[in-house]
Amino acid sequence: MTLIILNILVWLGPFFISLRKGLVNTLHPQFITPMFMIYFILNSYVQEQTNWMQEGNRAITVGVVKLLPELDPISFSFKSAYIISLLAGIFFHLGSGIFNKSIYNSTNEHILLNKKDIIYGNKVLLFLVTLIISSIIWLPNYYFDTGAFGTFWTYPLALSMCFVPVAVLGINRILFLITLIIAIFVASFVLKSKAAFTYIFMPIFFYVIFFNFNFIKFASNKNNFKKFILTFVVFLILISSLFIGNKYGKMDTRTFFRRDYAFEIFAILVESKKLGLINNEKSWIKNEVMQAIPSIILKSKRTTHINPAKRVAIELFPETAITRPNTYYNRHLLFAGYYDFGIFGALAGAFLFGSLFSYFWKLTKEKVEKYNAKWPILVYIPLPSFGAYFLACGGYAYSILNTLVASVILFIIFYSARIRLS
């Protein structure tokens, strides 16, 4: 428990300090990725203690006692993984500090960005182009085989629809409502994903909170505080009812929740390497990078490449790979680096990701100043919204593709308004 608390303090420490200043900078590198890191840790800890999902002995992944007999689930410990994660948090913050001030010192940039208008351009043309793009970007995913010859790019293309509503939120309310309806349709009938609904509202949340929320003012208002307490109580009642319903009712309410195995997979990797069970002749980092290259470009990939999510099953859970060949696992932010280079690779990876995230936030602020408009923030927003999540899961390819495609779509929308980009 001590190591979990230390992880929370290290990963979320800068954010907690920013709260004391009334600042909730949802777009800063030190906000969302640290949140995901702690979410994965707490997710595994709660599952281990309660066995909520009823997944084997001590609930270490799915029946790990049967899948990997060399790891005794009774004596299995997360200690080493906690320590590595703790150190990685320090290196992540060091990396994020290369190009930006810490989140608790970002008050001035927040004020300056908030003074800008969203665009300077033809809003009628923007309206028309947004409607056209919203109507067509999901079609390839709906009609084409998304698994053949690298066409898995069609999924992030359709997923980019989730960001169109927030792009026009501050420009036109009617357009916002239209695109929101289209986005919900795409999530329901095209992507067929419950997570996609989160992707729709997460960027809206980030944008609204970033520009319109002051934590100190909110907390000091008695009416707001009462509303917060009421909402929290309702949330607890809902969660409790789901637990009760799962235990005594006929409906399996566990389906309302998503189990993220990322940290557990990382912990199993750490313990497996300590026992010498991992034969890392092939680079995992190279494997993740190859995943991002469409097979229509790299033809050899069709026969030689193994999906990293499936490779987890093959190397860590060989019995599962045979009995359940379609089993795929999330990795973890630190997984690839640790697999290839041990603890030094994990720490270097954390530093690199922190610095890259920081660089893109710095670049975004520079573009806001250059064009004297907010639209670069909206082009940037796919990165913290779900690019950071896929990165935290260790899915580097999906992080790159989902962020890049959505950002390009948003750029096209704003470019259509003939914004001065030179």
DSSP characters over 150-190: TGGGHHHHHHGGGGHHHHTTTT-HHHHHHHHHHHHHIIIII
- Residue 301 class from Cβ within 10 Å (0-12 exposed, 13-18 middle, 19+ buried)? middle
DSSP, res 76? -
Could you tell me the pTM of the whole model?
Answer: 0.85
87-96, 233-242, 256-265: least confidently modelled range: 233-242
Instruction: Kindly report the three-state secondary structure assignment for every residue of 214-235.
Output: CHHHHHHCHHHHHHHHHHHHHH
Task: Indicate the domain borders of the chain.
Answer: 2-114+216-406
Residue among 11, 93, 36 nearest 389 (CA): 36
Residue among 381, 359, 409, 416 nearest 211 (CA): 381
Confidence of residue 420 (pLDDT cuts 50, 70, 90): very low
- Cα(208)–Cα(157) distance, rounded to whole angstroms? 24
Terminal-residue alpha carbon distance, the chain: 54
- What distances in angstroms separate CA 193 from CA 75, 159, 190, 198, 199, one per listed residue? 37, 10, 8, 9, 10
Give buried/exposed letters for 309-322 (b at 16+ CB in 10 A, else e): bebbbebbbeebbe
Instruction: Answer with the residue of higher pLDDT: 401 or 95.
Output: 95
Q: What is the pLDDT of residue 238?
A: 59
DSSP, res 418? T
Backbone angles phi, psi at 238, to 5 degrees: -60, -50
pLDDT in tens, 5-41: 999 999 999 999 988 887 888 899 999 999 999 989 9
Q: What is the DSSP string of 82-106?
A: HHHHHHHHHHHHHHHTTTS--GGG-
Identity of residue 382? P
Q: What is the pLDDT of residue 170?
A: 79
Confidence of residue 58 (pLDDT cuts 50, 70, 90): very low
Q: What is the mean pLDDT of residues 273-286?
A: 80
- Cα(401)–Cα(203) distance, rounded to whole angstroms? 17
Q: What is the mean pLDDT of residues 63-74?
A: 54
**Residue 146 pLDDT more than 80?**
no
**Residue 55 pLDDT more than 90?**
no
67-71, 88-92, 114-118: least confidently modelled range: 67-71
- Cα(158)–Cα(151) distance, rounded to whole angstroms? 12
CB 122 within 8 A of CB 417: yes
Confidence of residue 67 (pLDDT cuts 50, 70, 90): very low
Q: What is the pLDDT of residue 198?
A: 77
CB 321 within 8 A of CB 306: no
- Cα(97)–Cα(337) distance, rounded to whole angstroms? 21
The whole-angstrom distance between residue 157's C-alpha and the CA centroid of its chain comes to 17
Instruction: Kindly report the three-state secondary structure assignment for every residue of 248-307.
Output: HCCCCHHHHCCCCCHHHHHHHHHHHHHCCCCCCCCCHHHHHHHHCCCCCCCCCHHHHCCC
- Cα(348)–Cα(351) distance, rounded to whole angstroms? 5
pLDDT in tens, 174-228: 888 899 889 888 888 887 766 777 788 888 888 888 877 766 666 666 666 676 6
- What distances in angstroms separate CA 349 from CA 56, 94, 265, 354, one per listed residue? 32, 12, 17, 8
Q: What is the mean pLDDT of residues 140-157?
A: 71
Q: What is the DSSP string of 363-405?
A: HHHHHHHHHTSSHHHHHHTHIIIIIHHHHHTT-HHHHHHHHHH
**Residue 172 pLDDT more than 50?**
yes
Identity of residue 387? G
Q: What is the mean pLDDT of residues 328-340?
A: 90
Counting residues of the chain whose pLDDT is more than 70, the rounded percentage is 76
The residue written with tokens 């573009």 in the block is 367
Q: How does the average pLDDT of the chain come out, rounded?
A: 80
13-27, 100-114, 333-347: least confidently modelled range: 100-114
CB 149 within 8 A of CB 295: yes
CB 30 within 8 A of CB 102: yes
- Cα(76)–Cα(248) distance, rounded to whole angstroms? 31
- Cα(393)–Cα(388) distance, rounded to whole angstroms? 9
